[in-house]
Chain A
Protein backbone atom coordinates (compact mmCIF):
# COMPACT_ATOMS: atom_id res chain seq x y z
CA UNK A 1 0.00 0.00 0.00
CA UNK A 2 2.61 2.47 1.02
CA UNK A 3 4.68 1.42 -1.98
CA UNK A 4 1.74 2.34 -4.23
CA UNK A 5 1.13 5.81 -2.82
CA UNK A 6 4.83 6.42 -2.47
CA UNK A 7 4.28 7.71 1.02
CA UNK A 8 4.30 5.89 4.34
CA UNK A 9 0.77 5.47 5.68
CA UNK A 10 1.60 6.67 9.20
CA UNK A 11 0.38 10.17 9.81
CA UNK A 12 2.70 11.55 12.43
CA UNK A 13 2.27 8.97 15.17
CA UNK A 14 1.99 10.92 18.39
CA UNK A 15 3.58 8.03 20.24
CA UNK A 16 6.96 9.54 19.52
CA UNK A 17 6.20 12.64 21.63
CA UNK A 18 7.03 11.22 25.06
CA UNK A 19 10.38 10.10 23.64
CA UNK A 20 11.13 13.64 22.59
CA UNK A 21 10.72 14.73 26.19
CA UNK A 22 12.74 11.79 27.51
CA UNK A 23 16.27 13.30 27.44
CA UNK A 24 15.21 16.34 29.47
CA UNK A 25 13.32 14.09 31.86
CA UNK A 26 16.23 11.68 32.36
CA UNK A 27 18.77 14.41 33.15
CA UNK A 28 16.32 16.28 35.36
CA UNK A 29 15.35 13.17 37.30
CA UNK A 30 18.96 12.01 37.75
CA UNK A 31 20.45 15.33 38.83
CA UNK A 32 17.52 17.16 40.43
CA UNK A 33 14.69 14.83 41.48
CA UNK A 34 16.84 11.98 42.78
CA UNK A 35 19.06 14.43 44.73
CA UNK A 36 15.95 16.09 46.10
CA UNK A 37 14.79 12.76 47.51
CA UNK A 38 18.39 11.95 48.40
CA UNK A 39 18.80 14.99 50.57
CA UNK A 40 15.91 13.79 52.71
CA UNK A 41 17.30 10.24 52.87
CA UNK A 42 20.82 11.42 53.72
CA UNK A 43 19.46 13.40 56.67
CA UNK A 44 18.92 10.05 58.39
CA UNK A 45 22.54 8.94 57.97
CA UNK A 46 26.02 9.83 59.07
CA UNK A 47 28.63 10.51 56.44
CA UNK A 48 31.87 12.44 56.58
CA UNK A 49 31.82 13.19 52.86
CA UNK A 50 34.53 10.68 51.95
CA UNK A 51 34.07 7.34 53.73
CA UNK A 52 31.11 5.01 54.03
CA UNK A 53 27.55 6.11 54.73
CA UNK A 54 25.79 4.65 57.77
CA UNK A 55 22.16 4.76 58.76
CA UNK A 56 21.78 6.84 61.89
CA UNK A 57 18.08 7.23 62.49
CA UNK A 58 17.12 10.60 63.85
CA UNK A 59 20.51 11.55 65.25
CA UNK A 60 21.22 14.22 62.60
CA UNK A 61 17.84 15.80 63.15
CA UNK A 62 18.37 15.73 66.90
CA UNK A 63 21.74 17.43 66.44
CA UNK A 64 20.35 20.08 64.16
CA UNK A 65 17.11 20.80 65.99
CA UNK A 66 18.76 21.18 69.40
CA UNK A 67 21.60 23.32 68.07
CA UNK A 68 21.06 27.03 68.77
CA UNK A 69 22.80 27.56 65.42
CA UNK A 70 19.60 26.60 63.58
CA UNK A 71 17.26 29.29 64.94
CA UNK A 72 20.11 31.75 64.43
CA UNK A 73 20.63 30.71 60.79
CA UNK A 74 16.87 30.84 60.17
CA UNK A 75 16.73 34.29 61.73
CA UNK A 76 19.62 35.59 59.62
CA UNK A 77 18.10 34.05 56.48
CA UNK A 78 14.74 35.73 57.08
CA UNK A 79 16.32 39.04 58.07
CA UNK A 80 18.38 39.10 54.87
CA UNK A 81 15.27 38.17 52.92
CA UNK A 82 13.07 40.85 54.48
CA UNK A 83 15.71 43.60 54.48
CA UNK A 84 16.75 42.99 50.87
CA UNK A 85 13.08 42.84 49.81
CA UNK A 86 12.32 46.09 51.63
CA UNK A 87 15.30 47.86 50.07
CA UNK A 88 14.91 46.48 46.56
CA UNK A 89 11.16 46.73 45.99
CA UNK A 90 10.57 50.49 46.38
CA UNK A 91 13.81 51.34 44.57
CA UNK A 92 13.04 48.92 41.73
CA UNK A 93 9.55 50.36 41.31
CA UNK A 94 10.96 53.91 41.22
CA UNK A 95 13.72 52.96 38.80
CA UNK A 96 11.33 50.91 36.67
CA UNK A 97 9.03 53.95 36.42
CA UNK A 98 12.03 56.12 35.56
CA UNK A 99 13.24 53.69 32.88
CA UNK A 100 9.75 53.39 31.42
CA UNK A 101 9.96 57.02 30.30
CA UNK A 102 10.83 57.47 26.66
CA UNK A 103 13.56 60.10 27.05
CA UNK A 104 16.67 59.10 25.18
CA UNK A 105 19.06 59.92 28.04
CA UNK A 106 17.28 57.36 30.15
CA UNK A 107 18.09 54.67 27.65
CA UNK A 108 21.74 55.76 27.84
CA UNK A 109 21.68 55.53 31.64
CA UNK A 110 20.17 52.09 31.25
CA UNK A 111 23.36 50.87 29.60
CA UNK A 112 25.22 51.53 32.86
CA UNK A 113 22.40 50.41 35.16
CA UNK A 114 22.41 46.85 33.90
CA UNK A 115 26.14 46.15 34.12
CA UNK A 116 25.86 44.67 37.67
CA UNK A 117 23.62 41.99 36.18
CA UNK A 118 26.47 40.72 34.03
CA UNK A 119 28.98 40.25 36.83
CA UNK A 120 29.13 37.00 38.72
CA UNK A 121 28.27 37.11 42.42
CA UNK A 122 31.85 36.03 43.07
CA UNK A 123 33.24 38.97 41.07
CA UNK A 124 30.94 41.43 42.83
CA UNK A 125 31.83 40.07 46.25
CA UNK A 126 35.56 40.06 45.49
CA UNK A 127 35.39 43.66 44.27
CA UNK A 128 33.37 44.86 47.27
CA UNK A 129 35.67 43.05 49.65
CA UNK A 130 38.56 45.01 48.19
CA UNK A 131 36.56 48.26 48.11
CA UNK A 132 35.50 47.96 51.75
CA UNK A 133 38.89 46.96 53.10
CA UNK A 134 39.55 49.16 56.16
CA UNK A 135 43.22 49.63 55.23
CA UNK A 136 43.42 49.43 51.45
CA UNK A 137 39.86 50.15 50.31
CA UNK A 138 38.15 53.17 48.84
CA UNK A 139 37.25 54.83 52.15
CA UNK A 140 40.79 54.46 53.50
CA UNK A 141 42.24 55.85 50.27
CA UNK A 142 39.98 58.88 50.40
CA UNK A 143 40.98 59.31 54.06
CA UNK A 144 37.35 59.73 55.10
CA UNK A 145 36.97 58.29 58.57
CA UNK A 146 33.27 57.57 58.24
CA UNK A 147 33.94 55.42 55.18
CA UNK A 148 36.95 53.49 56.44
CA UNK A 149 35.16 51.41 59.03
CA UNK A 150 35.83 47.72 59.41
CA UNK A 151 32.77 47.02 57.28
CA UNK A 152 33.04 43.26 57.17
CA UNK A 153 34.54 42.86 60.64
CA UNK A 154 31.59 44.01 62.73
CA UNK A 155 28.34 42.01 62.87
CA UNK A 156 25.84 44.83 62.32
CA UNK A 157 27.88 46.46 59.58
CA UNK A 158 28.55 43.16 57.82
CA UNK A 159 24.82 42.43 57.71
CA UNK A 160 24.18 45.87 56.23
CA UNK A 161 26.89 45.34 53.65
CA UNK A 162 25.37 42.02 52.58
CA UNK A 163 21.96 43.66 52.10
CA UNK A 164 23.52 46.57 50.21
CA UNK A 165 25.56 44.36 47.87
CA UNK A 166 22.59 42.07 47.22
CA UNK A 167 20.52 45.13 46.30
CA UNK A 168 23.32 46.51 44.13
CA UNK A 169 23.41 43.26 42.22
CA UNK A 170 19.68 42.59 41.81
CA UNK A 171 17.89 45.97 41.66
CA UNK A 172 18.69 46.23 37.92
CA UNK A 173 16.97 42.90 37.27
CA UNK A 174 13.85 43.88 39.18
CA UNK A 175 13.69 47.37 37.66
CA UNK A 176 13.66 45.66 34.25
CA UNK A 177 10.62 43.69 35.33
CA UNK A 178 8.91 46.81 36.71
CA UNK A 179 9.81 48.81 33.62
CA UNK A 180 7.86 46.32 31.53
CA UNK A 181 5.02 46.33 34.05
CA UNK A 182 4.73 50.13 34.05
CA UNK A 183 4.77 50.24 30.25
CA UNK A 184 1.75 47.95 30.16
CA UNK A 185 -0.48 50.23 32.25
CA UNK A 186 -3.00 51.85 29.89
CA UNK A 187 -2.40 55.60 29.64
CA UNK A 188 -6.15 56.22 29.59
CA UNK A 189 -6.39 55.34 33.28
CA UNK A 190 -4.15 58.28 34.15
CA UNK A 191 -5.95 60.62 31.79
CA UNK A 192 -9.32 59.72 33.30
CA UNK A 193 -8.10 60.19 36.84
CA UNK A 194 -6.53 63.52 35.89
CA UNK A 195 -9.94 64.69 34.73
CA UNK A 196 -11.31 63.61 38.07
CA UNK A 197 -8.70 65.82 39.69
CA UNK A 198 -6.50 63.12 41.21
CA UNK A 199 -3.03 64.24 42.22
CA UNK A 200 0.21 62.46 41.45
CA UNK A 201 0.45 60.68 44.77
CA UNK A 202 -3.17 59.64 44.59
CA UNK A 203 -2.57 58.32 41.06
CA UNK A 204 0.42 56.32 42.20
CA UNK A 205 -1.49 54.60 44.97
CA UNK A 206 -4.80 54.09 43.19
CA UNK A 207 -3.57 53.32 39.66
CA UNK A 208 0.11 52.45 39.42
CA UNK A 209 0.39 50.16 42.45
CA UNK A 210 -2.83 48.16 41.84
CA UNK A 211 -1.97 47.79 38.16
CA UNK A 212 1.46 46.48 39.11
CA UNK A 213 -0.01 43.84 41.41
CA UNK A 214 1.09 40.81 39.41
CA UNK A 215 4.44 42.39 38.62
CA UNK A 216 5.00 42.93 42.33
CA UNK A 217 4.11 39.32 43.06
CA UNK A 218 6.42 38.00 40.32
CA UNK A 219 9.29 40.19 41.43
CA UNK A 220 8.75 39.45 45.12
CA UNK A 221 8.61 35.72 44.54
CA UNK A 222 11.88 35.84 42.66
CA UNK A 223 13.44 37.99 45.41
CA UNK A 224 12.23 35.83 48.26
CA UNK A 225 12.95 32.41 46.79
CA UNK A 226 16.17 33.76 45.28
CA UNK A 227 17.35 35.07 48.64
CA UNK A 228 17.52 31.48 49.89
CA UNK A 229 20.29 30.86 47.40
CA UNK A 230 22.58 33.79 48.21
CA UNK A 231 25.44 31.46 48.79
CA UNK A 232 28.35 32.67 46.68
CA UNK A 233 27.93 36.37 47.47
CA UNK A 234 27.88 35.92 51.24
CA UNK A 235 30.48 33.18 51.23
CA UNK A 236 33.05 35.29 49.36
CA UNK A 237 32.22 38.48 51.27
CA UNK A 238 32.17 37.21 54.85
CA UNK A 239 32.26 33.37 54.94
CA UNK A 240 29.26 33.76 57.24
CA UNK A 241 31.11 35.97 59.68
CA UNK A 242 32.07 37.86 61.65
CA UNK A 243 31.25 35.11 64.10
CA UNK A 244 27.99 33.79 62.69
CA UNK A 245 26.48 37.19 61.91
CA UNK A 246 25.77 36.45 58.23
CA UNK A 247 25.53 32.66 58.40
CA UNK A 248 22.37 32.03 56.38
CA UNK A 249 20.92 28.51 55.92
CA UNK A 250 22.76 27.83 52.66
CA UNK A 251 26.08 28.71 54.30
CA UNK A 252 25.19 26.70 57.37
CA UNK A 253 24.64 23.68 55.11
CA UNK A 254 27.96 24.14 53.33
CA UNK A 255 29.95 24.77 56.50
CA UNK A 256 28.54 21.80 58.37
CA UNK A 257 28.87 19.51 55.37
CA UNK A 258 32.19 20.35 53.81
CA UNK A 259 34.04 22.21 56.54
CA UNK A 260 32.68 20.15 59.43
CA UNK A 261 32.49 16.81 57.53
CA UNK A 262 28.96 16.26 58.85
CA UNK A 263 26.90 15.51 55.77
CA UNK A 264 24.01 14.09 57.83
CA UNK A 265 23.17 17.29 59.73
CA UNK A 266 24.01 19.31 56.60
CA UNK A 267 21.36 17.30 54.72
CA UNK A 268 18.85 18.04 57.48
CA UNK A 269 19.59 21.76 56.99
CA UNK A 270 19.20 21.34 53.23
CA UNK A 271 15.82 19.65 53.78
CA UNK A 272 14.73 22.63 55.87
CA UNK A 273 15.93 24.92 53.09
CA UNK A 274 13.80 23.05 50.54
CA UNK A 275 10.75 23.16 52.81
CA UNK A 276 11.15 26.89 53.47
CA UNK A 277 11.48 27.53 49.73
CA UNK A 278 8.38 25.47 48.90
CA UNK A 279 6.34 27.07 51.67
CA UNK A 280 7.25 30.58 50.55
CA UNK A 281 6.51 29.82 46.89
CA UNK A 282 3.09 28.41 47.81
CA UNK A 283 2.34 31.33 50.11
CA UNK A 284 3.18 33.91 47.47
CA UNK A 285 1.20 31.99 44.90
CA UNK A 286 -1.82 32.11 47.14
CA UNK A 287 -1.34 35.85 47.61
CA UNK A 288 -1.35 36.14 43.84
CA UNK A 289 -4.66 34.30 43.73
CA UNK A 290 -3.61 32.30 40.70
CA UNK A 291 -0.64 31.14 38.74
CA UNK A 292 -1.20 32.36 35.24
CA UNK A 293 1.66 30.36 33.80
CA UNK A 294 0.28 27.13 35.07
CA UNK A 295 -3.37 27.83 34.39
CA UNK A 296 -2.50 28.67 30.83
CA UNK A 297 -0.63 25.41 30.48
CA UNK A 298 -3.60 23.53 31.84
CA UNK A 299 -5.94 25.22 29.43
CA UNK A 300 -3.84 24.41 26.39
Chain B
Protein backbone atom coordinates (compact mmCIF):
# COMPACT_ATOMS: atom_id res chain seq x y z
CA UNK B 1 0.00 0.00 0.00
CA UNK B 2 2.84 2.34 0.73
CA UNK B 3 4.85 1.37 -2.30
CA UNK B 4 4.52 4.66 -4.09
CA UNK B 5 4.45 6.77 -0.98
CA UNK B 6 8.18 6.69 -0.90
CA UNK B 7 8.30 8.26 -4.31
CA UNK B 8 6.40 11.32 -3.24
CA UNK B 9 9.54 13.22 -2.47
CA UNK B 10 11.14 12.71 -5.84
CA UNK B 11 11.93 16.17 -7.15
CA UNK B 12 9.52 17.35 -9.81
CA UNK B 13 12.37 18.09 -12.21
CA UNK B 14 12.83 14.38 -12.84
CA UNK B 15 9.34 13.79 -14.09
CA UNK B 16 9.42 16.93 -16.15
CA UNK B 17 12.61 15.85 -17.85
CA UNK B 18 11.12 12.45 -18.42
CA UNK B 19 8.00 13.93 -19.96
CA UNK B 20 10.09 15.97 -22.36
CA UNK B 21 11.94 12.89 -23.39
CA UNK B 22 8.67 11.16 -24.01
CA UNK B 23 7.35 13.89 -26.25
CA UNK B 24 9.74 13.12 -29.05
CA UNK B 25 7.96 12.54 -32.36
CA UNK B 26 8.90 8.87 -32.30
CA UNK B 27 6.42 8.51 -29.46
CA UNK B 28 3.39 9.44 -31.55
CA UNK B 29 1.13 6.48 -31.12
CA UNK B 30 -2.61 6.35 -30.93
CA UNK B 31 -4.06 4.37 -28.10
CA UNK B 32 -7.64 3.88 -29.24
CA UNK B 33 -8.84 1.95 -26.22
CA UNK B 34 -7.67 4.65 -23.84
CA UNK B 35 -9.10 7.37 -26.07
CA UNK B 36 -12.54 5.76 -26.17
CA UNK B 37 -12.46 5.22 -22.41
CA UNK B 38 -11.44 8.84 -21.89
CA UNK B 39 -14.33 10.32 -23.85
CA UNK B 40 -16.86 7.81 -22.56
CA UNK B 41 -15.85 8.60 -19.01
CA UNK B 42 -16.33 12.30 -19.65
CA UNK B 43 -19.96 11.58 -20.55
CA UNK B 44 -20.48 9.36 -17.50
CA UNK B 45 -19.12 12.02 -15.16
CA UNK B 46 -20.48 15.13 -16.84
CA UNK B 47 -24.13 14.13 -17.37
CA UNK B 48 -25.03 13.62 -13.71
CA UNK B 49 -23.14 16.78 -12.72
CA UNK B 50 -24.86 18.79 -15.46
CA UNK B 51 -28.25 17.40 -14.45
CA UNK B 52 -27.63 18.26 -10.79
CA UNK B 53 -26.74 21.87 -11.57
CA UNK B 54 -29.50 22.65 -14.09
CA UNK B 55 -32.17 20.93 -12.00
CA UNK B 56 -31.18 22.88 -8.90
CA UNK B 57 -32.06 26.05 -10.84
CA UNK B 58 -35.50 24.86 -11.95
CA UNK B 59 -38.82 25.89 -10.50
CA UNK B 60 -40.25 23.09 -8.37
CA UNK B 61 -43.69 23.13 -9.97
CA UNK B 62 -42.34 23.07 -13.49
CA UNK B 63 -39.61 20.47 -12.89
CA UNK B 64 -41.81 17.43 -13.41
CA UNK B 65 -43.14 18.58 -16.75
CA UNK B 66 -39.83 19.70 -18.23
CA UNK B 67 -37.25 17.74 -20.18
CA UNK B 68 -34.68 16.93 -17.47
CA UNK B 69 -31.69 17.61 -19.71
CA UNK B 70 -32.81 21.03 -20.97
CA UNK B 71 -31.98 23.96 -18.70
CA UNK B 72 -34.83 26.10 -17.49
CA UNK B 73 -35.72 29.17 -19.54
CA UNK B 74 -35.94 31.34 -16.45
CA UNK B 75 -33.62 29.92 -13.79
CA UNK B 76 -34.60 30.52 -10.19
CA UNK B 77 -32.65 30.65 -6.95
CA UNK B 78 -35.76 29.88 -4.88
CA UNK B 79 -34.50 26.36 -4.12
CA UNK B 80 -31.26 27.74 -2.76
CA UNK B 81 -33.24 30.14 -0.59
CA UNK B 82 -35.22 27.22 0.84
CA UNK B 83 -32.01 25.35 1.62
CA UNK B 84 -30.41 28.35 3.32
CA UNK B 85 -33.58 29.00 5.30
CA UNK B 86 -33.41 25.38 6.49
CA UNK B 87 -30.51 26.30 8.76
CA UNK B 88 -27.73 25.33 6.34
CA UNK B 89 -25.66 28.34 7.44
CA UNK B 90 -25.44 26.76 10.85
CA UNK B 91 -24.53 23.31 9.46
CA UNK B 92 -21.91 25.00 7.33
CA UNK B 93 -20.45 26.67 10.44
CA UNK B 94 -20.49 23.34 12.30
CA UNK B 95 -18.62 21.63 9.47
CA UNK B 96 -16.10 24.47 9.33
CA UNK B 97 -15.48 24.37 13.10
CA UNK B 98 -15.02 20.60 13.10
CA UNK B 99 -12.76 20.62 10.03
CA UNK B 100 -10.49 23.43 11.16
CA UNK B 101 -10.58 22.28 14.76
CA UNK B 102 -9.43 18.80 13.79
CA UNK B 103 -7.03 19.52 10.92
CA UNK B 104 -4.87 22.07 12.75
CA UNK B 105 -4.01 19.88 15.75
CA UNK B 106 -3.86 16.72 13.63
CA UNK B 107 -1.29 18.21 11.28
CA UNK B 108 0.68 19.95 14.05
CA UNK B 109 0.89 16.75 16.11
CA UNK B 110 1.78 14.73 13.03
CA UNK B 111 4.60 17.08 12.03
CA UNK B 112 6.03 16.85 15.53
CA UNK B 113 5.72 13.08 15.59
CA UNK B 114 7.17 12.67 12.09
CA UNK B 115 10.13 14.86 13.05
CA UNK B 116 10.71 12.89 16.23
CA UNK B 117 10.46 9.53 14.47
CA UNK B 118 12.96 10.48 11.77
CA UNK B 119 15.43 12.27 14.08
CA UNK B 120 15.18 9.76 16.89
CA UNK B 121 15.12 6.57 14.83
CA UNK B 122 17.76 5.10 17.16
CA UNK B 123 15.31 5.17 20.05
CA UNK B 124 13.24 2.06 20.45
CA UNK B 125 10.26 4.01 21.83
CA UNK B 126 9.97 6.02 18.65
CA UNK B 127 10.32 3.00 16.38
CA UNK B 128 7.55 1.32 18.33
CA UNK B 129 5.36 4.41 17.94
CA UNK B 130 5.97 4.36 14.23
CA UNK B 131 4.92 0.73 14.08
CA UNK B 132 1.72 1.58 15.93
CA UNK B 133 0.85 4.34 13.48
CA UNK B 134 1.56 2.04 10.51
CA UNK B 135 -0.82 -0.51 11.98
CA UNK B 136 -3.49 2.20 12.01
CA UNK B 137 -3.21 2.34 8.22
CA UNK B 138 -4.18 -1.30 7.77
CA UNK B 139 -7.23 -1.22 10.01
CA UNK B 140 -10.62 0.14 9.02
CA UNK B 141 -10.87 2.62 11.88
CA UNK B 142 -14.60 3.02 11.28
CA UNK B 143 -14.97 -0.39 12.90
CA UNK B 144 -14.05 1.23 16.22
CA UNK B 145 -17.05 3.58 16.38
CA UNK B 146 -18.86 1.66 19.11
CA UNK B 147 -16.12 2.10 21.75
CA UNK B 148 -15.56 5.67 20.50
CA UNK B 149 -19.26 6.29 21.12
CA UNK B 150 -18.95 4.83 24.62
CA UNK B 151 -15.84 6.91 25.32
CA UNK B 152 -17.53 10.10 24.15
CA UNK B 153 -20.53 9.40 26.40
CA UNK B 154 -18.24 8.76 29.39
CA UNK B 155 -16.38 12.00 28.70
CA UNK B 156 -19.78 13.76 28.67
CA UNK B 157 -19.05 15.04 25.18
CA UNK B 158 -21.96 13.34 23.40
CA UNK B 159 -23.77 15.67 21.00
CA UNK B 160 -20.99 18.28 20.93
CA UNK B 161 -18.67 19.35 18.16
CA UNK B 162 -15.66 18.38 20.27
CA UNK B 163 -16.98 14.80 20.15
CA UNK B 164 -16.42 14.89 16.38
CA UNK B 165 -13.07 16.66 16.56
CA UNK B 166 -11.21 14.28 18.89
CA UNK B 167 -11.68 11.00 16.96
CA UNK B 168 -11.16 12.86 13.68
CA UNK B 169 -7.71 13.91 14.88
CA UNK B 170 -6.85 10.36 15.87
CA UNK B 171 -8.03 8.88 12.55
CA UNK B 172 -5.98 11.45 10.60
CA UNK B 173 -2.69 10.78 12.36
CA UNK B 174 -1.40 7.52 10.78
CA UNK B 175 -1.36 8.62 7.13
CA UNK B 176 -0.21 12.15 8.03
CA UNK B 177 2.77 10.88 10.03
CA UNK B 178 3.75 8.46 7.26
CA UNK B 179 3.64 11.09 4.48
CA UNK B 180 5.35 13.79 6.56
CA UNK B 181 8.09 11.45 7.81
CA UNK B 182 9.01 10.69 4.19
CA UNK B 183 9.52 14.40 3.60
CA UNK B 184 11.42 15.10 6.82
CA UNK B 185 13.77 12.26 5.90
CA UNK B 186 14.69 14.07 2.69
CA UNK B 187 16.10 17.08 4.51
CA UNK B 188 19.92 16.93 4.12
CA UNK B 189 21.79 15.94 7.25
CA UNK B 190 24.14 18.95 6.91
CA UNK B 191 21.25 21.34 7.53
CA UNK B 192 20.52 19.64 10.84
CA UNK B 193 24.24 19.73 11.69
CA UNK B 194 24.50 23.44 11.05
CA UNK B 195 21.44 24.07 13.20
CA UNK B 196 23.10 22.12 15.98
CA UNK B 197 26.35 24.05 15.62
CA UNK B 198 24.32 27.20 16.05
CA UNK B 199 23.10 25.80 19.34
CA UNK B 200 19.50 25.29 18.23
CA UNK B 201 17.40 22.89 20.27
CA UNK B 202 15.35 20.14 18.63
CA UNK B 203 12.27 22.29 19.22
CA UNK B 204 13.75 25.27 17.32
CA UNK B 205 15.11 23.00 14.58
CA UNK B 206 11.65 21.55 14.11
CA UNK B 207 9.93 24.90 13.59
CA UNK B 208 12.76 26.82 11.87
CA UNK B 209 14.08 24.08 9.60
CA UNK B 210 11.78 21.07 9.23
CA UNK B 211 8.44 22.87 9.01
CA UNK B 212 9.48 25.41 6.33
CA UNK B 213 11.17 22.71 4.26
CA UNK B 214 8.22 20.34 4.36
CA UNK B 215 5.59 23.00 3.65
CA UNK B 216 4.30 21.34 0.42
CA UNK B 217 3.74 18.08 2.27
CA UNK B 218 2.05 19.88 5.14
CA UNK B 219 -0.32 21.50 2.64
CA UNK B 220 -0.98 18.16 0.94
CA UNK B 221 -1.73 16.42 4.21
CA UNK B 222 -3.94 19.29 5.40
CA UNK B 223 -6.03 19.19 2.22
CA UNK B 224 -6.45 15.43 2.37
CA UNK B 225 -7.50 15.45 6.01
CA UNK B 226 -9.63 18.55 5.58
CA UNK B 227 -11.62 16.96 2.77
CA UNK B 228 -12.01 13.67 4.61
CA UNK B 229 -13.32 15.41 7.72
CA UNK B 230 -15.49 17.92 5.83
CA UNK B 231 -17.15 15.03 4.00
CA UNK B 232 -17.34 12.73 7.05
CA UNK B 233 -20.70 11.11 7.77
CA UNK B 234 -20.40 8.23 10.23
CA UNK B 235 -18.98 10.14 13.22
CA UNK B 236 -21.62 12.91 13.10
CA UNK B 237 -24.33 10.25 12.62
CA UNK B 238 -23.23 8.31 15.67
CA UNK B 239 -21.87 10.99 18.00
CA UNK B 240 -24.44 13.79 17.65
CA UNK B 241 -28.16 13.94 17.95
CA UNK B 242 -29.63 17.44 17.97
CA UNK B 243 -30.21 19.36 14.73
CA UNK B 244 -28.04 22.19 16.05
CA UNK B 245 -24.95 19.97 15.91
CA UNK B 246 -25.43 18.62 12.39
CA UNK B 247 -22.58 18.87 9.93
CA UNK B 248 -23.26 19.30 6.21
CA UNK B 249 -23.27 15.66 5.00
CA UNK B 250 -25.62 14.66 7.80
CA UNK B 251 -27.83 17.70 7.17
CA UNK B 252 -27.96 16.78 3.50
CA UNK B 253 -29.22 13.32 4.33
CA UNK B 254 -31.93 14.54 6.73
CA UNK B 255 -32.89 17.25 4.22
CA UNK B 256 -33.52 14.59 1.60
CA UNK B 257 -35.60 12.71 4.17
CA UNK B 258 -37.80 15.78 4.64
CA UNK B 259 -37.93 17.16 1.11
CA UNK B 260 -37.32 13.98 -0.91
CA UNK B 261 -39.99 14.74 -3.51
CA UNK B 262 -38.71 18.27 -4.04
CA UNK B 263 -35.86 17.17 -6.30
CA UNK B 264 -34.68 20.69 -7.25
CA UNK B 265 -34.38 21.65 -3.57
CA UNK B 266 -32.47 18.47 -2.70
CA UNK B 267 -30.07 19.07 -5.58
CA UNK B 268 -29.48 22.69 -4.61
CA UNK B 269 -28.52 21.41 -1.18
CA UNK B 270 -26.04 19.05 -2.88
CA UNK B 271 -24.56 21.94 -4.88
CA UNK B 272 -24.44 24.26 -1.89
CA UNK B 273 -22.63 21.80 0.37
CA UNK B 274 -20.04 21.17 -2.34
CA UNK B 275 -19.54 24.83 -3.28
CA UNK B 276 -16.76 25.64 -0.78
CA UNK B 277 -14.72 22.67 -1.96
CA UNK B 278 -15.32 23.57 -5.62
CA UNK B 279 -14.11 27.12 -4.98
CA UNK B 280 -10.91 25.74 -3.45
CA UNK B 281 -10.57 23.39 -6.44
CA UNK B 282 -10.88 26.33 -8.85
CA UNK B 283 -8.07 28.20 -7.12
CA UNK B 284 -5.64 25.44 -6.29
CA UNK B 285 -6.34 22.50 -8.54
CA UNK B 286 -2.78 21.20 -8.53
CA UNK B 287 -2.38 21.25 -4.75
CA UNK B 288 -5.86 19.79 -4.31
CA UNK B 289 -5.19 16.85 -6.59
CA UNK B 290 -1.93 16.01 -4.87
CA UNK B 291 -3.74 16.45 -1.56
CA UNK B 292 -6.57 14.18 -2.68
CA UNK B 293 -4.21 11.33 -3.30
CA UNK B 294 -2.20 12.31 -0.20
CA UNK B 295 1.02 11.54 -1.94
CA UNK B 296 -0.06 8.12 -3.14
CA UNK B 297 0.86 9.16 -6.64
CA UNK B 298 3.92 10.92 -8.03
Which residues of chain A have a CB within 8 Å of any CB of chain B? 7-8, 10-14, 16-18, 20-21, 23-25, 27-28, 30-39, 41-42, 47, 49, 53, 91, 94-95, 97-99, 101-102, 106, 109, 111-123, 126-131, 133, 136-138, 141-142, 168, 171-173, 176-177, 179-181, 183-184, 186-187, 190-191, 200, 214-215, 217-218, 221-222, 225, 228-229, 231-232, 235-236, 250, 253-254, 257-258, 263, 266-267, 270-271, 273-274, 277-278, 281-282, 284-285, 288, 291-294, 296-297, 300
Per the bound structure, the CA–CA distance linking A116 and B270 in Å amounts to 12
Q: How far is the CB of B272 from chain A (nearest CB, A)?
A: 10
Which one of A120, A123, A133, A218 contacts B1 once the chains associate, using CB atoms below 8 Å?
A218
User: Are B170 and A30 closer than 8 Å at their CB atoms?
Assistant: yes
- Extra contacts, 20 of them, besides A36-B147, A131-B48 (Cβ < 8 A), are A23-B113, A28-B133, A32-B170, A32-B171, A34-B147, A38-B144, A91-B37, A114-B281, A119-B277, A121-B233, A123-B274, A126-B269, A136-B63, A137-B263, A138-B51, A177-B296, A181-B4, A231-B233, A274-B139, A300-B185
User: Are A118 and B277 closer than 8 Å at their CB atoms?
Assistant: yes
B141: interface (CB < 8 Å)? yes
For the complex of A and B, the 5 pairs showing the least CB-CB separation, nearest first, are A293-B2, A38-B147, A120-B231, A141-B68, A31-B170
Q: How far is the CB of B76 from chain A (nearest CB, A)?
A: 18
Which among A13, A42, A119, A277 has the highest number of chain B CB atoms within 10 Å? Answer: A119
Per the bound structure, the CA–CA distance linking A72 and B56 in Å amounts to 39
Per the bound structure, the CA–CA distance linking A95 and B293 in Å amounts to 16
User: Are A14 and B120 closer than 8 Å at their CB atoms?
Assistant: yes
User: Are A97 and B147 closer than 8 Å at their CB atoms?
Assistant: no
With a cutoff of 8 Å between Cβ atoms, the chain B residues found around residue A294 in the complex are 2, 134
Chain B, range 65-99, C-beta contacts under 8 Å to A: 66-69
Per the bound structure, the CA–CA distance linking A113 and B285 in Å amounts to 12
With a cutoff of 8 Å between Cβ atoms, the chain A residues found around residue B130 in the complex are 297
User: Are A17 and B274 closer than 8 Å at their CB atoms?
Assistant: no
Number of residue pairs across A and B with beta carbons under 8 Å?
366
10 example contacts (A-B, Cβ-Cβ < 8 A) are as follows: A10-B201, A18-B125, A34-B147, A36-B147, A101-B31, A183-B15, A236-B256, A267-B146, A281-B139, A293-B2
With a cutoff of 8 Å between Cβ atoms, the chain A residues found around residue B269 in the complex are 126
| SS of B interface (majority) | helix
With a cutoff of 8 Å between Cβ atoms, the chain B residues found around residue A137 in the complex are 263
Which one of A12, A37, A102, A177 contacts B202 once the chains associate, using CB atoms below 8 Å?
A12
Per the bound structure, the CA–CA distance linking A292 and B227 in Å amounts to 27
